[in-house]
Amino acid sequence: MLAINPEKQLRLREEICEILPSPWSPLTTENSKNMPYLRACFKESLRIMPITPGNMRTTVKDLVLSGYQIPAGSNVLMGVMALANTDKYFPKSRQFLPERWLKNDESAGLKARNAFVYAPFGTGPRTCIGKRIAEMEIETLLVRLIRNYHISWSGKEELKYESNIITKPCGEIKFKFEPIR
């Protein structure tokens, strides 16, 4: 997402460079707290391309959901990817707009129209137990890469991905890394 949206990548780099003035500046618990645009990029990427495109629950009692009678023992699938990629729930859903996750005026008119449609880590008592560690690892890697490289996409086509239980890239992966002086 950042490789094909260079202006968003630049904005992220500006945020990172404020905190890490040199390529070797340490990333600490303290200074990594103040990276709203990084968090926003992470959330927006998982909106467009969630690693788990759906999530399921088996009902333990008879329920009525949105007017439908659901008997106990039914498998109910939440289409995480489909819900997060429609304008019904996310304005301008086809665009990579990290701004929609910022807690300032930039998110006006871009926020989710329903609080439950964004669930890349699931929801409730069985929510992903590794969420924090995954965020920490991905954000640490992203900070280091974006601080030190301009990343672009040199593929002839967009990155393709296939989805079984987990979404994964398929086809050529053609990132280009150019060191930042």
Which residue numbers belong to the known binding site for heme?
Answer: 128
Which residue, 154 or 164, is less far from ligand HEM as judged by CB? 164
Q: Which stretch in 67-75, 82-90, 115-123, 147-155 sits in contact with ligand HEM by CB under 6 A?
A: 115-123
- DSSP assignment letter at 62: -
Q: Binder to ligand HEM among 5, 9, 45, 52 (CB under 6 A)?
A: 52
The tokens 């987990």 sit on which residue? Answer: 166
Q: Binder to ligand HEM among 10, 65, 108, 133 (CB under 6 A)?
A: 133
Which residue, 77 or 173, is less far from ligand HEM as judged by CB? 77
Contact between 98 and 59 (Cβ < 8 Å): no
Cα within 13 Å of Cα(157), Cβ side: 7
Residue 60 makes contact with ligand HEM by CB under 6 A: no
Provide the residue type at 111 as one letter: K
Contact between 151 and 145 (Cβ < 8 Å): yes
Cα separation, 113 vs 99, in Å, equals: 15
Q: Which stretch in 32-40, 69-77, 86-94, 114-122 sits in contact with ligand HEM by CB under 6 A?
A: 114-122
